[in-house]
Amino acid sequence: MLTVGSLAPDFTLSDHAGVTHTLSQYRGKRVVLYFYPKDDTPSCTAQACRFRDQLPHFSGLDAVVLGVSADTQRSHQKFARKLKLNFPLLTDECVGGTPSMIAAYGAWIKKSVSRTTYLIDAQGRIERVWQKVNPVYNSVEVLNVIRGLPVQEIEAKTPPMFIIEADEPIPVGRKVSKKAGKKASGKPTKKKTATAKQAKKAAKKAPSAKRIAKKSKRKASSRRRNLPPDRP
């Protein structure tokens, strides 16, 4: 893993559209380089959609967002098209079993990509590193650093508040479910419907017409017994 202050390794990679990118071409700008495990998975979808939605804020601060994984260019094309992504997805396919650029940034662990985000400053040095990234709120964390706002780490018991706008605080959670990934990508989530077993159980609990009639008959009989006798 690269340390803060060290020079970020240069690279030359193609994106999902076939455009070649090098780190040196972005000298003078801040670069958000985020590594993710796999295209079209719930957590990676949520993270990509958040960066997509926040891109105008990054662009306004003269920062570039680049996503990187070991997926093929074709996989990136489908993923980018499906989510309508507005930033490049770089491909670093495995050559000899290891993707060289991902490994150079210390994000290749146990034969898979470790979710890691780097913020590289305008001089090409590592400004900040995020490991064990929360995919839903990572874009907000990075944006806070670029804006110079105080950043609070995600805690297990008391999630902090990360600020996008002065009047729009966002609470930070710990986990990302499949439902959260679908919600971030704009997909409709399915609502739970009652099963046949649940319907049968509810029907048993509901009083039948026969039971209601029997109960009414008992009440009428009881009232007749309590009436005073007729006078002669």
The 10 Å Cβ neighbour count of residue 58 is: 19
Q: Specify the CATH class of 12-185 in words.
A: alpha beta
What mean pLDDT do residues 169-183 have?
A: 45
Catalytic residue among 44, 46, 70, 83: 44
Is residue 149 within 8 Å of residue 163, measured between CB atoms? yes
Asked if 49 is an active-site residue, the reply is: no
Is residue 6 within 8 Å of residue 104, measured between CB atoms? no
Between 197 and 179, the more confident residue is 197
pLDDT tens-digit series, residues 141-163: 999 999 988 655 533 333 444 44
Distance CA 127, CA 112 (A): 24
pLDDT tens-digit series, residues 38-77: 999 999 999 999 999 999 999 999 999 999 999 999 999 9
What mean pLDDT do residues 181-187 have?
A: 53
Please name the residue ranges forming H helices in the chain. 42-60, 73-83, 100-104, 138-147, 178-185, 196-205, 209-225
Residue 98 has what pLDDT?
Answer: 82
Q: What is the pTM of this model?
A: 0.68
- Which of 114, 141, 115, 133 is CA-nearest to residue 174? 133
In the chain, where are the structural domains located?
12-185, 196-225
What mean pLDDT do residues 129-146 have?
A: 92
